[in-house]
Structure 1
Amino acid sequence: MMRRIAIVGSGPAGFFLADALSKSGSVGVDLFERLTCPYGLVRYGVAPDHPATKEVMRIFDRVATRDNVRFYGGVNIGADITVADLCDVYEIVVIATGADSGRLAQFPGAEVRPDNVTAFDLMRAVNGHPNAAGLRLPNDVRSVAIIGAGNVAIDVARVLCREPERLRKWNTATGFLNWLEQQKIRWVDILCRCAPEGARFAPAMYDELVRVSSERNGTLVRFRYNTVPSAYDRRTLSIRTAHGIDSFIPADLVIHAIGQRAGAIPGLPVDAVSGAVQHREGWVVGDDSVFVQGWAAGALGTAIPDCRVAAKRVAPEILARLDRGTGILCGFDTAAILNRIGRVPINWEDWSRADAVGQRADRNLGTVR
């Protein structure tokens, strides 16, 4: 009977670790996902006009179809099933969940409202995340201010500068496209508290943004380095430079691209500020059968390729810990989950059939997923 490891989260951190752990064939891996759709950040956080980045999903597809890997979608760990429940039937449980909210810069007028949103929430809306259906954005937007100097800030600016019809071919969410079509964005200001040499976005991202912005009727993108926001009111953003010079810029929409907060899992100790699970070298404080990986462990700036490197690094340690165990715990099967939560989880075959229908519809519309 095969010993099994549970991984909570089917984004890049979870899938790359499932790949590394299951390759030997001697250990089974069960992936638990809160949503009915897998892939996490890759599906809902990557800008739709970068489809090549999303090609990593094909790797995840191959992992999920291995004989020793099972997928349970639509199961909310912490609500439907607790971490303690998992520990009863798995010798090792890995928490590889991602972020569940964006961070807001702190200044007067920075509370969440239609004209003041996080890049995290906006990109979810762009990609059709089910939790983004309630996001409200202002109308009559001509000027946008983006706070942040990383790749996410550049992604947001580029998407806002794209012609809606171009975005449509990349399977961008209809609700967002309908909103964008009604706006007449002319200015996008990117506020960077650092000097140009301290910016964290890739040069290629900058070059692409410049090209895209020139294609949409000359939308003007301005980088304001050594500048921070100081207040926001009535579609006007007050800003201050490092030299203490105050000024104002129009901002019908302010987007905060300064990071995310990890999603908390009930029953685990978390840091109050970052939301990351408290751990020592990956093992949860007070429970050495639970390991945390990726954003859940506080690696909030981790890029998709970094998740693969990290998985290869930690998989041998997790397998060694499993070998030192004395039990043979075989995890949950579909019937056991049904008995606990009152519904059948989504397996990989279910998801694959639904996804195939969606992809056929995309091809008929001439869009790329």
Structure 2
Amino acid sequence: MLRVAVVGSGPSGCYTAQSLVQLDPSVRVDVLDRLPCPYGLVRYGVAPDHEKIKSLQSNLRTVLEHERVRFLGGVRVGEDGVPAARLRELYHAVVYCVGAATDRHLGVPGEDLPGSWSATEFLGWYSAHPDAVDDGFVRDARSAVVIGVGNVAVDVARMLARGAAELSPTDMPQAALSALAASRVTEVHMVGRRGPSQARFTTKELRELGALPDTEVTVDPQELALDPAYLDPSALPAAARRNVEVLRGWATAPGRSAARRIRMRFFLRPVEILAGGGTSRSSEAERGGGRVAAVRFERTVPDGRGGVTGTGRYEDIAAQLVLRSVGYRGVPLEGLPFDPATCTVPHLGGRVLREGAVAPGEYVAGWIKRGPTGVIGTNRPCAKETVTSLLEDAAALLRRELPGDPMAALRADGIEPVEWTGWCAIERAEAELGTTLGRSVVKLPDWESLLAAARRSTS
């Protein structure tokens, strides 16, 4: 009987477990996660008002409830947790599906000023990630700058413009809902360094901005015209052409009165985040007394090779909140090789490579394998490729005798996993919380409340 540990319970981890039990009738799979809750970015990365995408949890749930799959939450792997070598002792094979755990940086002065956050930190706060901090994101802010033109940037811009009545039916934690309901942000600038034809958002997400109540979306037609593909979109892929059509409609629409405004900006590259007083490096700012007051951008133009070049002309956009959405990157996991150039684990068909040679019994899938690319569905073929490699190696892997049930070994090591019954207890607690608040399900926002709810399943 082949025993496999899958590290990570997001889409790539669940699809890996699904492929394993579908392709091998005897395999047993333990899906380990650092958090006590499953589903990864489907729970903590999808905006709360995107109910259709969040409903994917029901499909992932079916995988984790399979009779030969076991969910073990609250199990940290690597530094300050179960060493990779220990997992190899307990399982015939380990598949790492740990995603891309941190954000890319802008690399500009003032990036770490108070009031400047990664979009993922903001998203984690309103999605109730237990590692999130509540630092008054929107407190005292009237204008926000979102740097980036991908779907995450669209999500956070939309959350800033949503009203309390629209957010209340979601599972957003109560503290975030109350803060956003009291927000005085009326201007949201969403800024990209390249043109509209190169933006990474999907048309469906883009159109949602135009459907927000009491919110106007504006686009500068002169900025759009800097993009040659905007002037003649016929050669663009269908998705980019649809985006251009939406932006063209907003650029030519007459202005209207609205409580909030989202300004789409293009061909502006951030060069500095400024504190109050017009500088990001004043002694006041270095002592922590200065907060974000504006972002300085350089005007760019197409370079004819798909990129942009600076013009030496600058523009400051006032903002008391800056959200940086310029991509994710993987981080090294203790005990595994790591390629700093691609921020992935070196592999061959999903088999981990150590110094160019295949490491027996170690595999990767998802973003840590291929980088932060694709949509949720992209993880299916990625996981299947890795599982195919693993099962080709099964005969050799099974020659090694294991010490017994990994769960007993983990407990002997002082680790008490949150099992599926614990997760179900968390779900019940979130439903009960929603009832007491007059809402539907409301997420528990911190480690203490999550673990307390999970423990009720054993009391």
Q: TM-score, normalised by structure 2?
A: 0.75
Q: State the match for 2:106 in structure 1.
A: 105
Name the CA distance, whole Å, in 1 between partners of 2:349 and 2:380: 18
- What one-letter code is carried by the residue in structure 1 that aligns with 2:340? A
How far did 1:80 drift?
A: 2.5
Name the CA distance, whole Å, in 2 between partners of 1:40 and 1:263: 16
Q: State the match for 2:300 in structure 1.
A: 242
- What one-letter code is carried by the residue in structure 2 that aligns with 1:158? R
Q: State the match for 2:132 in structure 1.
A: 132
Q: State the match for 2:223 in structure 1.
A: none
Q: State the match for 1:194 in structure 2.
A: 194
How far did 1:298 drift?
A: 4.0
Q: State the match for 2:76 in structure 1.
A: 76
Name the CA distance, whole Å, in 2 between partners of 1:98 and 1:323: 28
- What one-letter code is carried by the residue in structure 2 that aligns with 1:277? V
Structure 1 residues 256, 103: closer, same or farther in 2, change over 3 A? same
SS at match of 1:131: coil
Please list, as runs of the form range in 1=range in 2, the aligned pairs for 1:73-222 lying within 5 A after superposition. Answer: 73-78=73-78, 79-111=80-112, 113-137=113-137, 139-212=139-212, 214-215=214-215, 217-222=258-263
- What one-letter code is carried by the residue in structure 2 that aligns with 1:240? E
Q: State the match for 1:350 in structure 2.
A: 422
Match of 2:338 among 242, 262, 270: 270
Q: State the match for 2:324 in structure 1.
A: 256
How far did 1:273 drift?
A: 5.5
Q: CA RMSD in A?
A: 2.1
Unaligned runs of 5+ in 2: 217-257, 276-292, 302-310, 443-459
Matched, 1:285 2:285: no
Unaligned runs of 5+ in 1: none
- What one-letter code is carried by the residue in structure 1 that aligns with 2:324? H
Runs of 4 or more off by more than 6 Å in structure 1?
Answer: none
Name the CA distance, whole Å, in 1 between partners of 2:182 and 2:351: 49
Match of 1:334 among 395, 407, 410: 407
Contact 2:138 2:180 in 1 (8 A): no
- What one-letter code is carried by the residue in structure 1 that aligns with 2:371? A
Task: Report the identity percentage.
Answer: 31
CA offset digits 1:117-139 (Å, max 9, x no partner)? 00111111111001003545252
How far did 1:169 drift?
A: 1.4
Q: TM-score, normalised by structure 1?
A: 0.92
Q: State the match for 1:19 in structure 2.
A: 18
Name the CA distance, whole Å, in 1 between partners of 2:419 and 2:46: 24
Structure 1 residues 3, 281: closer, same or farther in 2, change over 3 A? closer
- What one-letter code is carried by the residue in structure 1 that aligns with 2:9? S
